[in-house]
Structures are given as C-alpha cells and as structure tokens.
Structure 1
Amino acid sequence: MAEPAVVVEVVHAGMQGVLRCRVSLPAGSTAMQAVEASGLLQQLPVEARDPLRLGIFSRRVDADQVLRDGDRVEIYRSLALDPMAARRRRAGKP
C-alpha cells in the first residue's frame, strides 16, 4: 500500500512578484521540507533565505511544523520599515 501523501502550496510574495509551487510530500513532512522540495529557495534573494521566516495561512510557524493536506506554506520577507518607526513617523514624533 502506498504511503499517504499531503499536497501543499509553497508561496513567497516578493518585490518582483509572487512565486508559488505545489508539492506532494509524504505524510508527516515539515514546513521546511516543503520549502526545500519546492525549489523556491534558489529563486529567492539572499536576505529572504536567512533567517527563514515561515507561516501557514498567515500564522507564523517553526520550520519543523508538521503539515496537513492543503496547507499553504508562506515564506515571509523582511519588513521594509519597522512598524514602530512607521507609527512614530505618522504621528510626527522623532
């Protein structure tokens, strides 16, 4: 009997557009294994790879998070501006 599989989508929304790849993995696979299987790491800029920030459906997860069928693994990029600095700037405070 074949080992059960999970099918997940791996996505990264960068400045140049969205990269996405659907992968099929053995049950019990992790978020990092999905990212590695997708091949998207080689297409990302260096700053998006280290440290790798991952999420599933907009919820931050660790790289060893076990996946369920239909999950969307998201590779997050660094923030362009610190949220606290942006609030201070909007409020007109130094």
Structure 2
Amino acid sequence: MDKPSIVVEVVYALADKQKLLRLGVPYGTTVRQAALQSGMQAHFSGLDLHNSPLGIFGKLVGKPDERILEEGERVEIYRPLIADPKEVRKQRAAKAAQAKADGAEH
C-alpha cells in the first residue's frame, strides 16, 4: 500500500526571478526534504538547499530537518542576508538624528 501523500508548494525568489513549484510528497516529509525534492536548484545556479534557511508562510522554521509538512503549506527558501537589519535601522536612526541636529542649528 502506498503512503498517503500531500501537496505542498516550494518557492524561491531573486530580485529579478521567482519560481513556485507544486509537488506531491509523502506524508511525513520534512521542510528540508521538500525543498530538496523540489528540484529548485535546477532553476537557480548556486542555490544550496542543504544549508539555506527555510520557512513556511513567512515564518522561519528553526529545525527544517525535523518539521513535518502539512497539506497545502508553502515552503519558502530564504536567501542569506546581505546586511544585518538591526544595524541598518541603527544607521538610519543615527542619520535621522544627525539631520535633525543639523536642522536645529540653522
């Protein structure tokens, strides 16, 4: 008897190219297994699915090798961060404070 299967989506996007793949996987498939089975790396050279951070519907999955998927879930493959968002906010706040101080002097 075949294992029951579920349908999930796997998505990945760059600034200029996006791909969404629907696939049937056996019940009990993990987030990482679905990403690997999707074949997404064939569409994006250099994509490392063994180490990429993964999420479901916009929420990072802490243990993608353990989290079991459910019917209809969307696995998202995340790109590495280029800049730390906290550091960017800190720099923006410092720049705004400096602009405000410069404006108060005039």
| TM-score, normalised with respect to structure 2 | 0.75
Bigger Cα Rg:
2
The residue aligned with 1:3 is 3
2:15 alignment partner AA: M
CA distance in 2 between counterparts of 1:58 and 1:73 reads: 9
Task: Give the conservation status (yes or no) of the 8 Å contact 2:52–2:80.
Answer: no
| Count of aligned pairs between the two proteins | 92
Task: Give the conservation status (yes or no) of the 8 Å contact 1:9–1:20.
Answer: yes
Q: Are 1:57 and 2:57 an aligned pair? A: yes
Counting only pairs closer than 5 Å after superposition, residues 57-76 of structure 1 correspond to structure 2 as 57-61=57-61, 62-64=63-65, 65-76=67-78
Return 5+ residue gaps in structure 1 as ranges.
none
Task: Give the conservation status (yes or no) of the 8 Å contact 1:35–1:41.
Answer: no
Counting only pairs closer than 5 Å after superposition, residues 16-35 of structure 1 correspond to structure 2 as 16-35=16-35
User: SS state of the match for residue 8, structure 1?
Assistant: strand
CA distance in 2 between counterparts of 1:52 and 1:80 reads: 14
Q: Which has the higher contact order (CA 8 A, sep 6+)?
A: 1
1:69 alignment partner AA: E
The residue aligned with 1:42 is 42
| TM-score, normalised with respect to structure 1 | 0.83
Structure 1 runs of 4+ off > 6 angstroms? none
Return 5+ residue gaps in structure 2 as ranges.
96-106
What is the CA-CA distance between 1:42 and the residue it aligns to?
3.1
CA distance in 2 between counterparts of 1:85 and 1:43 reads: 32
> RMSD across aligned C-alpha pairs, in angstroms?
1.8
CA distance in 2 between counterparts of 1:71 and 1:14 reads: 21
CA distance in 2 between counterparts of 1:80 and 1:52 reads: 14
Q: Share of identical aligned residues, percent?
A: 40
1:92 alignment partner AA: A
What is the CA-CA distance between 1:36 and the residue it aligns to?
1.4
